[in-house]
Amino acid sequence: MLLAVVYSCVGGGALLYALYRWIIPNLLQYHTGALLFWHDDLVPWVRDTVYGSTRPERILAEVKRKATRGDARSVVDTIDQYCRHQEWAMNVGDEKGTILDSIVCEVKPRAMLELGTYCGYSAVRIASLLPPNSRLITMEFNPVFAAIARQVIAWAGVEDKVVLIEGPSGDWIPKMKKEFGLTSFDLVFLDHWKDCYLPDTKLMEECGLLRTGSILVADNVICPGAPDYLEYVRGSPRYESKYFRSHLEYTRVEDGIEKSVFLG
């Protein structure tokens, strides 16, 4: 009798674990809304409750456990491995990250802006590719995320190329020139709230932060999606736009990056 109970408990536990780790995520691969709810709401809530920590804190802990200090690529690879095999997070990810890498290497920006730092993954990825005397200004609305990102950036050894600022993008964009003594950005990476992509782009135009040839790179334009932004950059004579098809980070759901050259 006791053995039967033990076997039932073990079997039930194994089934729950399989459902949690493989079965449910695979079933949701092509149901975007349900997949995002599972990965970005339900599972983090369960893990936060069980472990008494937040997902950004767990990502930072993994970096400190496994990544080589001062090695940006090791930090990026560690986060990718963790998010692909342990706990999903909305970084640009390894697959779309290679697209971002190629654009950064092509442009070789001296002045670059990132909207949406989260845990610092893309800031580290970008900063590791910047030429000497270049600067990445990365902006994060959430002060808790910003505190984690600072530690990840420092662990990667790229803090000399990164300036992390906190607050709403709509407040910061109009004072960028005065605060940082710049004329315009060579490259802008949009990876914050998707409904802010379009108003922030228009605000950068109004503030003269985009010059002829400046490039906007927007993540997650399909999933979760930024349809008003896509309609604008694809339909405006001020932009030449190209879509790079890929997948939502660490999944098989279609997503992609939109690269838009500002024509003036």
- Catalytic (active-site) positions: 191, 194, 219-220, 249
158 half-sphere exposure, CB direction, 13 A CA radius? 32
- In order, the DSSP letters of the chain are -HHHHHHHHHHHHHHHHHIIIIIHHHHTTT-HHHHHHIIIIIHHHHHHHHHSS-HHHHHHHHHHHHSPTT-HHHHHHHHHHHHHHT----S-HHHHHHHHHHHHHHH--SEEEEE--TTSHHHHHHHTTPPTT-EEEEEES-HHHHHHHHHHHHHHT-TTTEEEEES-HHHHGGGHHHHHT-S-EEEEEE-S-GGGHHHHHHHHHHTT-EEEEEEEEES-IIIII-HHHHHHHHH-TTEEEEEEEEESTTSSSEEEEEEEEE--
Distance CA 141, CA 40 (A): 18
Tally Cβ neighbours within 10 Å of residue 44.
18
> Which tokens go with 100?
């971002």
